[in-house]
């Protein structure tokens, strides 16, 4: 019998161990870089999600042993799910039990989204049976060293605090998600760029956030009116942080941006699928968030 309850601060070490072991085994078996390089990085994520989305943090137990962990991120009409993992060797049904719990948390949203690693047939089968369909291919891109562009688009400028209300309205109009608290957190803990579509007024052609962590720069989320505008925003990051290692969760629907990312030193580490249950109207061009996942 698998029981699912709330993940609390006292459970962080056990949950982090599951994330580290499960993702490490699955990724290394196929020659990919694990998303959690250390147990502490997984513990940081658990603590951050408890602070950001306490109602969306779930823990699965079997015979009082912690066997799985998963997260949901409700944002109005949109909820994203992830990451989700079961302990290697755990009894069957852990992932389904967690998805049932997280689906209940997402019940107030019309659109539920998650990322699925394309090399994992088991999770693809589970999510398909639960009604999710593939809406986009999402390459996971890694750069050992950002290559700066020869020049940047003059319409790309650093994002400042006064831009946040405009960015929030633009983002909600393009994504359907209420990400105000996420964008505010990203602005306070990282940096960003604006594509200024007009010299005066509020009109913007897109935005991009990034966080310069000790190990690498996490680029995204980003939304823009075209793949070319999005590529110009990526150039802005590469120009400001040359030589840094970086990661992007991109969209195959924006090939012009992918080509620019390759010019900036990125390579495809692996492919993922954006899977959606319910309506989904993608923005013209985007980079997906790695925190919170799937948004």
Same domain, 103 and 152: no
Nearest residue to 136 (alpha-carbon basis) of 271, 232, 291? 271
Same domain, 28 and 79: yes
Nearest residue to 160 (alpha-carbon basis) of 98, 113, 126, 204? 204
Whether 130 is covered by a domain: the verdict is no
Q: Which residues of the chain have pLDDT under 50?
A: none
Residue 214 confidence (pLDDT): 87
Same domain, 156 and 258: yes
Residue 200 confidence (pLDDT): 55
CB-CB neighbours of 10 under 10 Å: 7
Whether 161 is covered by a domain: the verdict is yes
Residue 59: strand, helix, or coil: strand
Residue 295 confidence (pLDDT): 74
Q: DSSP class of residue 191? A: E
Identify whether the C-beta of residue 233 lies closer than 8 Å to the C-beta of residue 206. Answer: yes
Which ranges in the chain belong to alpha helices (H)? Answer: 12-29, 39-52, 94-105, 121-129, 164-175, 180-189, 227-240, 255-263
Same domain, 94 and 147: no
Same domain, 86 and 171: no
Q: Which domain holds residue 219?
A: 142-270+280-287
Alpha carbon distance 99, 109 (integer Å):
15
Q: DSSP class of residue 121? A: H
What is the count of structural domains for the chain? 2
Of 109, 131, 150, the position where a domain reaches its end is 109
Same domain, 153 and 223: yes
**Which residues are within 8 A (CB) of 212 and not within 5 positions of it... i.e. 6 or more apart?**
190, 191, 241, 244
Cα-only R_g, the chain: 19
Whether 182 is covered by a domain: the verdict is yes
Nearest residue to 222 (alpha-carbon basis) of 254, 259, 200? 254
**Which residues are within 8 A (CB) of 147 and not within 5 positions of it... i.e. 6 or more apart?**
238, 242, 263, 264, 265
Identify whether the C-beta of residue 221 lies closer than 8 Å to the C-beta of residue 241. Answer: no
Same domain, 167 and 84: no
Residue 203 confidence (pLDDT): 86
Alpha carbon distance 220, 155 (integer Å):
19
Residue 114 confidence (pLDDT): 97
Alpha carbon distance 106, 173 (integer Å):
20
Same domain, 176 and 66: no
Same domain, 98 and 148: no
Alpha carbon distance 183, 201 (integer Å):
21
Whether 78 is covered by a domain: the verdict is yes
Of 84, 109, 134, the position where a domain reaches its end is 109
Whether 223 is covered by a domain: the verdict is yes
CATH assignment of the domain containing 81:
3.40.630.30
Of 56, 91, 109, the position where a domain reaches its end is 109
Angle, CA of 5, 16 and 136, to the nearest 5°? 85
Same domain, 102 and 147: no
Whether 114 is covered by a domain: the verdict is no
């Amino acid at each position: 019998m698998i029981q699912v309850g709330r993940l609390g601060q006292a459970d962080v070490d056990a949950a982090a161990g599951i994330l580290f072991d499960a993702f490490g085994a699955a990724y290394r078996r196929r020659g990919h870089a694990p998303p959690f390089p250390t147990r502490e990085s997984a513990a940081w994520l658990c603590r951050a999600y408890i602070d950001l989305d306490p109602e969306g943090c779930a823990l699965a137990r079997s015979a009082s042993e912690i066997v799985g962990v998963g997260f949901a991120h409700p944002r109005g009409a949109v909820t994203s799910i992830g990451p989700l993992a079961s302990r290697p060797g755990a009894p069957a049904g852990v992932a389904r039990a967690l998805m049932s719990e997280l689906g209940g948390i997402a019940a107030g949203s019309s659109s539920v989204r998650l990322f699925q690693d394309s090399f994992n047939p088991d999770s693809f089968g589970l999510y398909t049976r639960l009604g999710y369909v593939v809406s986009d291919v999402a390459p996971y891109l890694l750069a050992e060293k950002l290559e700066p562009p020869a020049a940047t688009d003059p319409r790309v400028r650093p994002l400042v605090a006064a831009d946040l209300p405009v960015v929030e309205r633009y983002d909600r109009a393009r994504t359907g998600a209420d990400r105000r608290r996420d964008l505010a957190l990203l602005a306070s803990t990282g940096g960003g760029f604006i594509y200024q579509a007009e010299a005066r007024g509020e009109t913007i052609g897109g935005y991009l956030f990034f966080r310069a962590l000790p190990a690498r720069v996490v680029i995204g989320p980003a939304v823009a009116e075209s793949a070319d505008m999005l590529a110009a925003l990526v150039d802005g990051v590469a120009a400001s942080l040359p030589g840094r290692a970086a990661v992007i969760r991109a969209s195959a629907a924006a090939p012009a941006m992918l080509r620019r990312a390759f010019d900036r030193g990125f390579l495809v580490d692996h492919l993922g699928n954006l899977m959606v249950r319910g309506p989904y109207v993608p923005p013209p061009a985007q980079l997906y968030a790695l925190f919170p996942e799937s948004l």
